[in-house]
Amino acid sequence: MMTGDQYNFVKLYERSFKDNWELPAVSDYGTDVTLTYGQLAINIEKLHILFKECGIKKNDKIALMGKNNSNWVAVYLAAITYGAIIVPILQDFRANDAIHIINHSESKLLFISDINWEGIDLEQIPKIKAAVSLNDWHPISLALDPKKINYEAIANKFKEKHPDGYWPKDLHFDERGNDCIGSINYTSGTTGFSKGVIMPLNGLAGNIRYALEQNLVSRESRHVTFLPLAHAYGCAFDFLACLAAGGHTYLIGRTPSPKILLKAFAEIKPTIILSVPLILEKIYKKMIVPQIQKAPVSWVLKVPFLDSVVCSKIREQLMQAFGGEFRQMIIGGAPLNPEVEAFLYRIKFPMSVGYGMTECAPLITFTPYDQGSKPLSCGKPLTGIMEVKIDNPNEEGIGEVVVRGENTMTGYFKNAQATKESFTKDGWLRTGDLGILDEDGFLYIKGRCKTMLLGASGQNIYPEEIEAKINNMPYVLESLVLQQEDGRLVALICPDYNEVDASGLTTEQFNEVMEDSRKQVNSELASYEQISIVKLYPHEFEKTPKKSIKRFLYTNMV
């Protein structure tokens, strides 16, 4: 447990607000809203008054659901610095899932965007004292006197408390040790079962400590925040670490299409970029693949010495597409396609892949690009913060990845059985992922324990590795490899319909291409990994907010 003021979570922000009072803290991209650290601190103080008026006590839960915006940031920090426990809810959750989380977490206040409120009835969340709009702070529905907690009433209370204004000398957050619970994050995994991860402030501070010590964030930081802040990955680094360092985060509340993101990157010129693989892979397919498939370029790339010139030009083009001023891109949340990763390393694109999970708030392993990150690995365990080992490895050294350290959760909220099952007898957290450590301590993920398939003779089959090969085939948008009752493997493929239409292929020609692709993939696989059948799926697979496919929804489709 980290002790002392240096990495005390609450003190980190008290210092940052005071030291950076006049600097910009958060901007709602696409609007004229920008808050300085001082203005954000004032909003937090007003929220503290609101909490008190609502009768919120220490360790009460406050639920938060909505798109990325400056009000979301204010509520999150206000709850924790008040002594409450924040319960972030992913805005993509369905109304019935959100209702379950609000009730299960025993939340007493709800801050929610107007669009998310549409599917919720106050009678379904009886413990909620008030629901407040994240759009403009108006009370949406409440069991309290609306005259006491509307925006004007809170503003008047604020003036009474601070008649001479609110300045750095007035900012004093209550003492909270890092052993206090900071958040309960409900997982949005691919298994269909959501659990409330109890995260002490120590886990949140551990990620911030790593970002600060590795100089991933600073006062000069500019972040384009398009990952949902309710998810641990974006929350930890685009928001919490950036603001702890005095940086400026630009919040994108819209769906992060490549077109929107590339425009934002060009305008903001971020200093570091956090992304999930799907975003980078889409940009790679749009910008890079058409170039390297052209006859002259594809030929030059095979010629030693000449290829370096082409690679340098492609690298510069890609760097400029992301704003041209970032030091490195950090990829996390899901495996990156190996072919994409190999090419990016070949052109010396400053990118590294990290590994983490909600239960570790989230980071477990990462090696910065300039410190010797290795292709296809997830880096090394965070020095002095996290430990990693492989539990019960097979003859190849592959086994379940288990971890322990500063960033780990204390358990699942009101779920003692799941908590017990998630830890080994000697206190290591089971990740559910299969991996291997090399001689230098770099971690390589092979797949999920629950998704690993068995061949006819007991061979281990990792569907994610086969899917990565299929996804590189022509006209394939994404795929899932599933196993029939007879043991045969089936590739469920969602075609890239835009590419198919542009090519002018007939249905018969397209089916021939799919069959040729199946044979090509099989030529690169072991005999027990062969794809027997290709089945087409009409639209994109349903995904979690970090863009991992919800595999459990499709297991009965073959």
Tell me how far apart the alpha carbons of residues 408 and 361 are, in angstroms, rounded to a whole number: 7
- What residues does CATH 3.30.300.30 cover in the chain? 463-553
Q: Tell me, what DSSP letter sits at residue 118?
A: T
- What residues does CATH 3.40.50.980 cover in the chain? 9-199
Q: Tell me, what DSSP letter sits at residue 190?
A: S
Per-residue pLDDT at 457: 56
Identify whether the C-beta of residue 190 lies closer than 8 Å to the C-beta of residue 554: no
Give me the torsion for CA of 188, 191, 196, 200, rounded to 10°.
-80
Per-residue pLDDT at 269: 97
258 burial class (0-12, 13-18, 19+ CB within 10 angstroms)?
middle
Tell me how far apart the alpha carbons of residues 71 and 229 are, in angstroms, rounded to a whole number: 12
Per-residue pLDDT of the chain (558 residues; tens, 9 = 90+): 777 678 999 999 999 999 999 999 999 999 999 999 999 999 999 999 999 999 999 999 999 999 999 999 999 999 999 999 999 998 888 888 899 999 999 999 999 999 999 989 888 999 999 999 999 998 887 676 777 778 889 999 999 999 999 999 999 998 899 999 999 999 865 444 579 999 999 999 999 999 999 999 999 999 999 988 998 999 999 999 999 999 999 999 988 888 899 999 999 999 999 998 878 888 888 888 887 777 666 666 666 666 788 888 889 999 999 999 999 999 987 778 888 898 899 899 999 999 999 999 999 999 999 999 999 999 999 999 999 999 999 999 999 999 999 999 999 999 999 999 999 999 999 998 999 999 999 999 988 777 778 675 557 788 888 998 999 889 999 999 999 878 889 999 999 988 888 888 888 899 999 999 999 999 988 788 899 999 999 889 988 766 778 887 887 777
Tell me how far apart the alpha carbons of residues 40 and 166 are, in angstroms, rounded to a whole number: 11
Per-residue pLDDT at 190: 43
Per-residue pLDDT at 291: 77
CATH architecture observed for domain 9-199 = 3-Layer(aba) Sandwich (3.40)
What share of the chain has pLDDT > 70, as a percent?
Answer: 95
**pTM for this one?**
0.84
Tell me how far apart the alpha carbons of residues 265 and 133 are, in angstroms, rounded to a whole number: 29
Identify whether the C-beta of residue 230 lies closer than 8 Å to the C-beta of residue 187: no
Phi/psi for 336 (5° steps) reads: -90, 140
Residue 133: how many other CB atoms lie within 10 Å: 18
Read off the amino acid at residue 484: Q
DSSP labels for 252-316?
P-S---HHHHHHHHHHH--SEEEE-HHHHHHHHHHHTHHHHTSHHHHHHTTSTTHHHHHHHHHHH
Confirm or reject CATH 3.30.300.30 for domain 463-553, answering yes or no.
yes
Tell me how far apart the alpha carbons of residues 131 and 250 are, in angstroms, rounded to a whole number: 26
User: Which CATH code for domain 272-324+327-448?
Assistant: 3.40.50.12780
At 25-40, the pLDDT tens digits run 999 999 999 999 999 9
Residue 303 CB partners (closer than 8 Å, separation 6+)? none
Identify whether the C-beta of residue 29 lies closer than 8 Å to the C-beta of residue 250: yes
Tell me how far apart the alpha carbons of residues 26 and 240 are, in angstroms, rounded to a whole number: 11
For residue 216, the Cα-to-chain-centroid distance in whole angstroms is 17
Segment (H or E) for 534: strand 531-536
- What residues does CATH 3.40.50.12780 cover in the chain? 272-324+327-448
